[in-house]
Structure 1
């Protein structure tokens, strides 16, 4: 009985650590960086993210999109020896939590165009202040991308280095902005077969500090544009093209999953 109770307590303790984590470390082929999660103010988003972490679903995934002066995006695809990369198994969609602003060095959830509660596994890191375009709800009823953490210490040095990796348009939908190191000469060759070294790989995301709520010292910027945008009439005006492009670029792309 004592052994049973000890095992139960240990299990509950581990569950507590799984449910809450403040700092995670991304271990990548281009260096490591840490992210401080808003585990109490965006709990559903963090819980969803940590479920992928603890299940190992982010292990050996790739950065599948970078856009100059905009975002680095991952959490969605793996290279399995041939192009196109494979989309990973997802856990379903989550409720959007647009609490914080998409300023430089924040990490947010990607979503489907026009569907505000459609985030699942994919995330992106803001390379600059994208608040004006990613904080409000857009003309399609989407937008308001949920920030759930911030890159800390000198982590943006690594993220910016990843953003500078040359990109390849593989000719497959969803992979037009695929960063591929040492692949410039082969990018246009349909017979070329890349190796794992030709991708920016996330080897693992690990829990670095499981203490709950250590983000109090961060000077996090709140999203003040979301509520205001709800009050504005939705129309396909001149901003529609810009919002539509941004929504498409940050789409989780579930329709492109290989069967």
Structure 2
């Protein structure tokens, strides 16, 4: 039994260390999908990671419209607020999401991303920021992002679109793509307005809430006596308790590591005395 427990803990530790990438959960009125940030651990993607976390932690993706469902191409969102669930008569009725400074990926201004993408490409399930300009400006990405729906989108790699995340499960994305669509720009000049997915009665598909998924370490810490003590001191005028932003950077699961080491030591001692 001890041997089985030791192996279970070792496997659990392996799984935990491979889930170190931060994950954002998007709750929509169609379903939920998770976005794993920087799955390859590329340090050059930190600017993109910090950017999307800033919008999530500021609540700026909450109640925003999923506005572009281009078949076999992209599902785009994050750029416009939804003041109502009903499809408006004009795309101009969608207020823009207030943006932070754009992400700089082209420091020398030559129109090319300055760093290697580190194994990620604009293929199915990966996520990049939407860009503006003709040709596209690599330094124009802010809140709006898209999910790639096709492996042939890798041509976007050379146009300044930096994939910085991946969708863990595409089930909800597939459901959204299967919905009927409405066109609020018959001229076709605004690509973000011609493939708007809608539900019954022309209700919009919206992001209801976006948040960082708590890590196992954060859950353990929040239930520890030290955490409870900090919360108590905060309520009595002491130092402020930790906020959700503290969950952004997961650390190795030291509790699981210690337990695994103890079980392996017990197994070794048992063999020696046998």
TM-score by length of 1: 0.62
Does the residue aligned with 2:151 lie in a helix, a strand or coil? coil
Q: Which residue of 2 aligns with 1:108?
A: 128
Q: Which residue of 1 aligns with 2:24?
A: 24
CA distance in 1, matches of 2:251, 2:23: 9
Q: Which residue of 2 aligns with 1:202?
A: 207
Q: Report deviation, 1:131.
A: 4.0
CA distance in 1, matches of 2:60, 2:174: 24
Pairing of 1:19-168 with structure 2 (within 5 A): 22-38=22-38, 40-41=41-42, 42-81=45-84, 82=88, 83=90, 84-96=93-105, 99=117, 100-113=120-133, 114=135, 115-136=137-158, 143-152=159-168, 155-168=169-182
Q: Report deviation, 1:199.
A: 0.7
Q: How many residues align?
A: 174
CA deviations over 1:197-221 (Å, ceiling 9, x no partner): x01110111111345489xxxxxxx
Does the residue aligned with 2:147 lie in a helix, a strand or coil? strand
Q: Is the 8 A contact 1:22 1:213 kept in 2?
A: no
Q: Which residue of 2 aligns with 1:13?
A: none
CA deviations over 1:210-245 (Å, ceiling 9, x no partner): 45489xxxxxxxxxxxxxxxxxxxxxxxxxxxxxxx
CA distance in 2, matches of 1:79, 1:135: 30
Q: Report deviation, 1:22.
A: 0.6
Q: Report deviation, 1:59.
A: 0.3
CA distance in 1, matches of 2:163, 2:153: 11
Per the alignment, do residues 122 and 44 of structure 1 end up closer, same or farther by CA in structure 2, a change over 3 Å counting? same
Does the residue aligned with 1:116 lie in a helix, a strand or coil? coil
CA distance in 2, matches of 1:79, 1:36: 25
Structure 1 residues not aligned, in runs of 5+: 1-19, 137-142, 184-193, 215-259
CA distance in 2, matches of 1:95, 1:163: 31
What is the CA RMSD across the aligned residues, in angstroms?
2.3
Per the alignment, do residues 117 and 182 of structure 1 end up closer, same or farther by CA in structure 2, a change over 3 Å counting? same
Q: Which has the larger radius of gyration?
A: 2
Q: Report deviation, 1:94.
A: 1.0
CA deviations over 1:63-103 (Å, ceiling 9, x no partner): 01010001100000112244432211111211136612011
More helix as a share of residues: 2
CA distance in 1, matches of 2:174, 2:151: 14
CA distance in 2, matches of 1:179, 1:131: 21
Structure 2 residues not aligned, in runs of 5+: 1-19, 106-112, 216-247, 253-274
TM-score by length of 2: 0.59
Per the alignment, do residues 213 and 159 of structure 1 end up closer, same or farther by CA in structure 2, a change over 3 Å counting? farther
Per the alignment, do residues 21 and 61 of structure 1 end up closer, same or farther by CA in structure 2, a change over 3 Å counting? farther
Q: Report deviation, 1:157.
A: 0.8
Q: Is the 8 A contact 2:121 2:154 kept in 1?
A: no
